[in-house]
Amino acid sequence: MSAKETEGREKPEGLQGKLLALRSSLHPIRKAAGTRLRSIRTTINITFTVIFVAIMLIIGLTLYGRFVRVARQNAIEATQKTLSQSSQTLEQYLNGMRHVSDAAYYSSIRENDIGSRRLLEELSLLYEADKESIVTIAVYSSSGSLLAAEPVANQKMEPDVTRQEWFQAAIEGIENPHFSLPHVQNLFDADSYRRVISLSRSVDLNTGDEPETGVLLLDFSSSDIEQMMQQLSGPLEGQYYYLCDSDGNLIAHPQKAQIMEGLLSEDTSDAAKHPDGILEETVNGTKRTLIIHSISYTGWKMVSVIPNSSFRLGMLNVRLFIEILLLMAGMIVLAVNRVVAGRISRPIMELNDSVKAYEAGGAPRIEPGGSMEIRHLGRSIQASYERIDRLMQQIVNEQNLRRISEIDALQSQINPHFLYNTLDSITWMIEGGKNDEAVFMISELAKLFRISLSKGRTIIPVRDEIQHARSYMNIQKARYKDRFLVEFNLPEDIMDCCTVKLILQPLLENAIYYGVGDMDVDDGGKIIVSGGTEENGIYLRVEDNGFGMPEETAEAVLTKGERVHKHGSGVGLVNVHNRIRLLMGEQYGLSVESEEDKGTKITVHLPKIPYTEENRKKLEGKGDGN
């Protein structure tokens, strides 16, 4: 909207536009607020979710780590227990064989002559007592000759017994029985080859006169030990057990055949040298845990091997379970957070929607919901909007009033009667040859109209308003043939102050028509225009010594409408009074004093504002409601 459009002709649209502009000025604030509100909801959502997920992750990882450690520890302890129990069982088995060997030696061989029938019977009894396990009980001389054997069988001719490991170990370790590694028995003819473990010891033989050294051999099936080891199983998948001697030679292993064939390998060197306990090692890049337990009397080691991957495999279910739990909790938390964030932010969003509706031109109706603070905010915003609406309406009303007043004031200047009478007087003067007086009248009329228009301005200097009044009075004096006097007494210091235009002329008009206009020359009618500075500003005064008016009329003249005189312009005191109040403020305007037959004094109260372009625009803008 241009300033010209706003000035006089299209003020309603201008006002409407400004109203909408005012409302729209709230838009950036609303937009910013709306953006912040959306992020508040999202921020609440994200913050709660992140915090919860972080806490759950920490708890989950801690629990999982703890569980893994505990589970691993439990698996190791369970394995150690198994190893201990199995070792005891194996030791009992080996002790059983030792007891058989002891019985054969101490009860039979030492008590009987070698080759005696009783010896053979006792050896036979010992064999029969446990022939499921015992393969052979045999006695050899120190030169390797077979002296006695159960069960009876043909001895193989080829093998040199003295070169077999069990025989050499017995001869070398005289005091101690010796357990060999599992091997295929190569002593007697048999239908099948038997895997045996040889328990051999050096014995003293009763051969008659002098005792001789011999070797007692007890071959028992290695399958008992192999089965015992095969039955061992760990709590973890991939875990296995094996038995080796102190040099790392395998005695029993679930994959012994594959290892002997070279299809697989087992590194037993570390386990064989390690004391009882737990050993962590890496073989071919694979980490594993060995749990070692020694077997008494033999130097054998029972070893449990747990690949570290077995621990992880065992924990797979737990890990999956924890992940599922975390995921479910996360989904629930996400949904709950959304609900909570929504509930917290909904009243704010509704408030925002209400503001949006108002900006779009709706009624200032704010939905007061939510927490105490939001409700207070809503009420405050509603009160603000209502106040804005009232102020806007007030501005509109004032602008309308001002427009009407100015239109009326302008209308008075082009009142046909006044113009007609004035032109008529000019015509009369010209016809009467009073050209100078006619020229004077025309020039005064021109001045009058020029100041009336004042380039469309509403605020003019006091000087111009006085000139307007002078021009008007000069015209009227000519018409009234100087029946009254006019005096102008104004100090210079107020001449360059701001005033509303066309305020003195109506007062002078009233002074003429209701005061001195009908007085005779001899009555000495007089109109005095004066002015000055007062406490709150400046004043302009029009006073006459005419007929005056009753007090009650004087009191009501500014409120009860205008008296339209048939000779007057029709613009009354009320118009002037309202225009001054509109443009200058309500504390300014007219004050009327009158006494019948004494005269009337009307004072115009104005602020003392120096006339500058800036002040003029401010005062005129104030009148526009800006």
Pick 158 or 520: Cβ nearer another protein: 158
Binding another protein (rule: CB under 8 A), the pick from 42, 74, 231, 393 is 42
The helix or strand, by DSSP H or E, that contains position 162, with its residue range, turns out to be none
Q: What is the 3-state secondary structure (H, E, C) of 515-558?
A: HHCCCCHHHCEEEEEEEEEECCEEEEEEEECCCCCCHHHHHHCC
Least CB distance from residue 34 to another protein, whole Å?
A: 11
Task: Point out which span in 5-13, 51-59, 329-337, 474-482 binds another protein (CB under 8 A).
Answer: 329-337
Binding another protein (rule: CB under 8 A), the pick from 193, 431, 552, 597 is 193
CA–CA gap between residue 335 and residue 322 (Å, rounded): 20
Distances, alpha carbon 194 to alpha carbons 281, 413, 589, in Å: 36, 147, 139
Least CB distance from residue 49 to another protein, whole Å?
A: 10
Binding another protein (rule: CB under 8 A), the pick from 25, 43, 89, 258 is 258
Closest to 334 measured CA to CA, from 103, 130, 42: 42
Tell which positions 196-235 bind another protein, by CB under 8 A: 223
Pick 159 or 248: Cβ nearer another protein: 159
- By CB under 8 A, the count of residues binding another protein is 38
Least CB distance from residue 459 to another protein, whole Å?
A: 53
Asked whether 576 and 590 are in contact (CB, 8 A), the reply is yes
Contacts 24+ apart (CB under 8 A), 483-486: 483/516, 483/517, 483/519, 483/520, 483/521, 483/525, 484/512, 484/516, 484/517, 484/519, 484/525, 484/526, 484/527, 485/524, 485/525, 485/526, 485/527, 486/526, 486/527, 486/528, 486/529
Pick 143 or 193: Cβ nearer another protein: 193
**Class of residue 396 by CB neighbours under 10 A (exposed 0-12, middle 13-18, buried 19+):** middle
Tell which positions 288-307 bind another protein, by CB under 8 A: none
Asked if the bond preceding 151 is cis, omega within 30° of 0, the reply is yes
CA–CA gap between residue 171 and residue 17 (Å, rounded): 125
What is the CB neighbour count within 10 angstroms for residue 268? Answer: 22
Contact status: 195 vs another protein (CB under 8 A)? yes
Binding another protein (rule: CB under 8 A), the pick from 111, 323, 496, 523 is 323
Enter the tokens of residue 430: 């010209």
Least CB distance from residue 453 to another protein, whole Å?
A: 59
Provide the mask over 115-154, with x wherever binding to another protein is found by CB under 8 A and - wherever it is not.
----------------------------------------
Binding another protein (rule: CB under 8 A), the pick from 154, 263, 275, 520 is 263
Pick 326 or 377: Cβ nearer another protein: 326
Least CB distance from residue 179 to another protein, whole Å?
A: 18
183-184 and 211-221 beta bridge pairing: unpaired
Binding another protein (rule: CB under 8 A), the pick from 32, 331, 407, 453 is 331
Taking each continuous run of H as one helix and of E as one strand, the counts in the chain are 16, 18
Pick 158 or 586: Cβ nearer another protein: 158
Closest to 557 measured CA to CA, from 600, 526, 517: 600
Contact status: 317 vs another protein (CB under 8 A)? yes
Contact status: 41 vs another protein (CB under 8 A)? yes
The helix or strand, by DSSP H or E, that contains position 283, with its residue range, turns out to be strand 277-283
Contact status: 160 vs another protein (CB under 8 A)? no
Provide the mask over 336-375, with x wherever binding to another protein is found by CB under 8 A and - wherever it is not.
--x-------------------------------------
Contact status: 257 vs another protein (CB under 8 A)? yes
Pick 156 or 376: Cβ nearer another protein: 156
The helix or strand, by DSSP H or E, that contains position 559, with its residue range, turns out to be none
CA–CA gap between residue 241 and residue 247 (Å, rounded): 17
Provide the mask over 170-189, with x wherever binding to another protein is found by CB under 8 A and - wherever it is not.
------------xxx-x---
Least CB distance from residue 320 to another protein, whole Å?
A: 5
Which residues pair with residue 529 across a beta bridge? 488, 542
Enter the tokens of residue 34: 């709306």
Least CB distance from residue 258 to another protein, whole Å?
A: 6
Binding another protein (rule: CB under 8 A), the pick from 23, 194, 581, 605 is 194
Binding another protein (rule: CB under 8 A), the pick from 22, 59, 320, 521 is 320
CA–CA gap between residue 58 and residue 116 (Å, rounded): 81
Contact status: 321 vs another protein (CB under 8 A)? yes
Binding another protein (rule: CB under 8 A), the pick from 132, 158, 522, 613 is 158
Asked whether 462 and 446 are in contact (CB, 8 A), the reply is no
Enter the tokens of residue 406: 């100015």
- Contact residues for 317 (Cβ-Cβ < 8 A; gap 6+): none
Query: Residue 21: what are its φ and ψ, rounded to 5°?
Result: -65, -40
The helix or strand, by DSSP H or E, that contains position 274, with its residue range, turns out to be none
Task: Point out which span in 126-134, 334-342, 482-490, 501-509 binds another protein (CB under 8 A).
Answer: 334-342
Least CB distance from residue 359 to another protein, whole Å?
A: 19
Binding another protein (rule: CB under 8 A), the pick from 335, 404, 414, 521 is 335
Contact status: 324 vs another protein (CB under 8 A)? yes
Pick 337 or 545: Cβ nearer another protein: 337
Pick 94 or 196: Cβ nearer another protein: 196
Contact status: 334 vs another protein (CB under 8 A)? yes
Pick 8 or 144: Cβ nearer another protein: 144
Question: 76: helix, coil or strand?
Answer: helix
Contact status: 261 vs another protein (CB under 8 A)? yes
CA–CA gap between residue 170 and residue 167 (Å, rounded): 5
Interface positions with another protein (CB under 8 A): 38, 41-42, 156, 158-159, 182-184, 186, 191-195, 223, 255-258, 260-264, 316-317, 320-321, 323-324, 327-328, 330-331, 334-335, 338
